Amino acid sequence: MTEVVGIQHFMVLSTLMFFIGVYGFLTRKNLITILLSIELILNSVNINFVAFNKYLYPENLGGHFFAMFVIAVAATEVAVAIAIIISLYRKLKMIDVENVNEMKY
Amino acid sequence: MENFYYTLIIPVILFFTFVFTGLLGRKFKPLFSGMVCTASIFISTALSWYTAYQYFFVQGKVDGAYKLINVFNLEWLRFNETLSIDIGILLDPISVMMLVVITTVSLMVHLYSLGYMKGDPGFSRYYAFLSLFTFSMLGLVLSVNIFMTYMFWELVGVSSYLLIGHYYDKPSAVSASKKAFIVTRFADLGFLIGILLLSAYAGSFDFNELTNPQGSAILQSASVTFMGLSAVTWALILIFIGCAGKSAMFPLHIWLPDAMEGPTPVSALIHAATMVVAGVYLIARLFPLYIFTSPQALEVVAYVGAFTSLFAAVIACTQTDIKRVLAFSTISQIGYMMVALGVSGYGGEEGLGYMASMFHLFTHAMFKALLFLGAGSIIHAIHTNEICDMGNLRKYMPVTHITFLIACLAIAGIPPLSGFFSKDEILVAVIEKNFFLFIVQYIVAGLTAFYMFRLYFIVFWNKEKKYEHEPHESPSIMLITLVFLAVCSAVAGFIPFSEFVTSDGLPFVTHIHMKVAVPTVTLAVIGILTAFFLYKKESTSPDKIKNSLGLIYRSAYRKFYIDEVYMFVTKKIIFNMISVPIAWFDRNVIDSSMNGIAAATNFISEKIKYLQSGQLQQYAFVMVAGMILIFLLTVYLITL
């Protein structure tokens, strides 16, 4: 039996997701979009974890475990990030990342 | 057998009084502080006399010799098996004698100051410091351990500094107190090095061990040599430097005349009777060590003492400030004690010099305290120190006059007053050992009589001067102390001192040696008569003599320019040649290199701070670019 979906497919998918995420992170000006890009990056990692777990060590659950862990961390991270974005919006009346430069020299 | 634990109270009560009056003195009337201090010193004095009685007459003697009693000994800091710093109380003939001298003179000074310092704004401060001083001095003489001596030695120096600077709004008093502190502190450096050297070679700080003639300290040491002298000799010479600083021996005597800026009772207590003899006391304390391990060090003591006594006596003949005359007289008399120690041997009759030195210390404390308190009484009456402004005071101050006369006769060595006996013992001890030193001391005896009676005749006889107001006799509390000390000075000589204080504790009998006593007394009388003819009435002959002596007189008047030499050495050489270049180096080289580093950092950070733009995506881009770069580099290196 030949496998229709191999590990290469997962690799290609996660690489694409990762670089789409990085591209979004570097070019988008809207903070919400940047946050979405980060989610893309994190999820590409999750896909890698699960895929490698399945194809390399099917008897272990380490990859699944880490994927769950990353999802949990991503959820909390989103909560904090949204809180920051909301308070920024209250202060600046916009969520454009170029205007958030309070921390410069 | 009764123990001596109560001796602990003698110093400690004074410490508590010091803390009490020092902290709370402002809350009470000044007189109350004075009373508290006087009451506690009275208790100390009573206990000291009781201790002396117990020690000398009841239980000090074992097998006919006075022995060392360790009342108690607390280990405080241990270095190794033999070396430790202890706190404790040691009783032996000299420490018991010093107890009596210190507390008695201190009590007199406390009482006297009730009158003398009345109305002074720093009254309770003054009394607090007097208590501190007496406490430290008692601690010094009672110490069991040379390191404990050193600690109290410094405490004594501090309280002396505080008391000299009592009139702290007077610039001269401030500089005098600083001078006294720095000079003695400088000498104490020698003392400290001496202690460390001694402990390294003798292996002990403990006086019991150090001064035991059969002890290992004396037997073991003296093996290592440096520049021809044994290491212990060097240690003892360094300790003598400390003693010379405290006891105002040449060339470290310069602080004592200036210390006269302090209140007069302080001069009487610290700079005449007690603190300045601490050096003599310490050498007497370490005497077995000196005599058995390094006679050379003792020779140094003798020659320095002899030179100082002559030198100071000559200066004393020319000074016109009453307290300075007395200060130089003190230096001269301490020189006597040093000479006596320097020529002494150990044990029985051999130790005559040791006993004579302690005897002279005892009598000198009495009559010199009396002289200073008498001078204080005069200053109290006419508010000046200059003897040129005094004259014919016997009419106004009869009690001061008589007591001062007794003290002058005592110091001049006229029998049967106390000074005669002690000076006679010293001269006998010196003539037996070293005829040259005897000649020097003999001349000094004549000079002493001359300058004391010069002072006496100018102040109490001579022509009456114009006074701002009629001089009056001092209050009775001051006169009582004068009379008490006069009685002591008169009769102290009859104490058979050699029965109590000897180098090895074994009593022996002394008698007057006519072949020494007669010429000495004759010379003293000649000195007195010279002073009588020159200064009894106002005449021009002193000025004629002054002019004919010319340069000698002028240099003696300027104290042989020793102060100027010190100024030259410190200001010109140390200050200009060393301190100024170092200051320049510090300011221009060290400081500017530090400033340069700071300026460079500032400049660079000013240039690169714009990297910190605050743009999140810029940072992220740099990060990602760096990651990719590292990735490519790794791939390149792996595929290479």
Structural domain includes residue A105 = no
A83, amino acid identity = A
Of the residues B617, B618, B622, B627, the best mutation for testing chain A's interface (the one with the most A CB atoms within 10 Å of its CB) is B617
Task: Tell me, rounded to whole angstroms, the distance of Cα B538 from its chain centroid.
Answer: 37
Closest CA to B188 of B142, B152, B139, B159: B152
Residue B608 forms contact with A (CB below 8 Å): no
Q: What number is the average pLDDT over the span A30-34?
A: 92
Lowest average pLDDT, out of B5-9, B22-26, B468-472, goes to B468-472
Structural domain includes residue A64 = yes
Q: Which two tokens stand for residue B326?
A: 């007395």
Lowest average pLDDT, out of B184-198, B437-451, B563-577, B584-598, goes to B563-577
Q: What number is the average pLDDT over the span B486-513?
A: 81
User: Taking CA atoms, what residue in B is nearest to A29?
Assistant: B617
Checking if the pLDDT of B170 tops 60, the result is: yes
Q: What is the pLDDT of residues B64-99, one digit of tens each?
A: 778 788 888 888 888 877 788 888 888 888 888 888
Smallest CA–CA separation between A98 and chain B, in Å? 6
Q: How far apart are the first and last CA of chain A?
A: 62
Q: Do B612 and A104 touch (CB under 8 A)?
A: yes
Which of B415-424, B520-529, B587-596 is predicted most confidently? B587-596
Q: Which domain holds residue A28?
A: 7-96
ipTM value for the complex: 0.86
User: Taking CA atoms, what residue in A is nearest to B617?
Assistant: A26
Comparing CB atoms, the residue among A25, A27, A104 nearest residue B614 is A104
* Cα-Cα-Cα-Cα dihedral sign, residues B224, B227, B230, B231: negative
pLDDT given at position B217: 60
User: Taking CA atoms, what residue in B is nearest to A102?
Assistant: B614
Checking if the pLDDT of B275 tops 90, the result is: no
Smallest CA–CA separation between B595 and chain A, in Å? 24
Structural domain includes residue A1 = no
B229-230 and B225-226 strand pairing: antiparallel
Structural domain includes residue A104 = no
Q: Do B613 and A97 touch (CB under 8 A)?
A: no
Smallest CA–CA separation between A2 and chain B, in Å? 32
Residue B617 forms contact with A (CB below 8 Å): yes
pLDDT given at position A37: 93
Contact B283, B246 (CB under 8 A): no
Smallest CA–CA separation between B169 and chain A, in Å? 56
Q: Which two tokens stand for residue A36?
A: 């979405």
Smallest CA–CA separation between B626 and chain A, in Å? 13
Q: Residues of A with CB below 8 A from B614's CB?
A: 100-105
Higher pLDDT, B148 or B229: B148
Q: Alpha carbon of A85 to those of A25, A30, A70, A96, B616: distances in Å?
A: 15, 10, 22, 10, 14
Chain A, chain B: beta-carbon pairs less than 8 Å apart? 30
Local structure of B509: helix, strand or coil: coil
Global confidence as pTM: 0.78
Q: Do A104 and B624 touch (CB under 8 A)?
A: no
pLDDT given at position B68: 80
Peptide bond into B251 cis (omega under 30): yes
CATH number, domain of A86, equals 1.10.287.3510
Q: Which two tokens stand for residue A59?
A: 């008897």
* C-alpha radius of gyration, chain B, whole number: 30
pLDDT given at position B1: 46
Lowest average pLDDT, out of A77-81, B95-99, B249-253, goes to B249-253
User: Taking CA atoms, what residue in B is nearest to A24?
Assistant: B617
Structural domain includes residue A91 = yes
Concatenate the DSSP letters of all residues of B586-629 into one string: IIIIIHHHHHHHHHHHHHHHHHHGGG----HHHHHHHHHHHHHH
Q: What is the pLDDT of residues B412-464, one digit of tens each?
A: 888 888 888 888 888 888 888 888 888 888 888 888 888 888 888 888 887 77
Of the residues B607, B608, B616, the best mutation for testing chain A's interface (the one with the most A CB atoms within 10 Å of its CB) is B616
Q: Residues of B with CB below 8 A from A37's CB?
A: none
Structural domain includes residue A101 = no
Provide the number of structural domains found in chain A.
1
Residue B605 forms contact with A (CB below 8 Å): no
When the pLDDT of each residue in chain B is averaged and rounded to a whole number, the result is 85
Q: Residues of B with CB below 8 A from A27's CB?
A: 617
Q: Do B613 and A104 touch (CB under 8 A)?
A: yes
Checking if the pLDDT of B108 tops 60, the result is: yes
DSSP H/E element including B27: none
Residues 4-63 of A with CB under 8 A from B: 22, 25-27
Q: What number is the average pLDDT over the span B283-294?
A: 85
User: Taking CA atoms, what residue in B is nearest to A26?
Assistant: B617
Q: Alpha carbon of B443 to those of B280, B313, B430: distances in Å?
A: 22, 9, 13
Q: Residues of B with CB below 8 A from A25's CB?
A: 617, 620
Q: Do B624 and A26 touch (CB under 8 A)?
A: yes
Structural domain includes residue A103 = no
Residue A97 forms contact with B (CB below 8 Å): yes
pLDDT given at position B2: 59
Q: What number is the average pLDDT over the span B194-212?
A: 81
Tokens 């202690």 appear where?
Answer: B195
pLDDT given at position B431: 85
Comparing CB atoms, the residue among B609, B613, B621 nearest residue A101 is B613
Q: What is the pLDDT of residues A37-77, one digit of tens each?
A: 999 999 999 999 999 998 888 888 989 999 999 999 999 99
Q: Do B616 and A104 touch (CB under 8 A)?
A: no
Q: Residues of A with CB below 8 A from B624's CB?
A: 22, 26
Q: Do A105 and B620 touch (CB under 8 A)?
A: no
Q: Which residues pair with B226 in a beta bridge?
A: B229
Closest CA to B164 of B264, B277, B273: B264
pLDDT given at position B472: 79
Q: Do A26 and B613 touch (CB under 8 A)?
A: no
Contact B419, B410 (CB under 8 A): yes
Higher pLDDT, B536 or B235: B235
Smallest CA–CA separation between B628 and chain A, in Å? 12
Smallest CA–CA separation between A61 and chain B, in Å? 29
Comparing CB atoms, the residue among A26, A27, A103 nearest residue B614 is A103
Smallest CA–CA separation between A36 and chain B, in Å? 15
Q: Alpha carbon of A58 to those of A50, A70, B535, B556: distances in Å?
A: 10, 20, 125, 111
Cite the DSSP H helix spans in B344-434. Answer: 352-382, 398-412, 418-433
Q: How many Å apart are CA B360 and CA B276, to the nearest integer?
A: 13
Smallest CA–CA separation between B596 and chain A, in Å? 24
Structural domain includes residue A2 = no
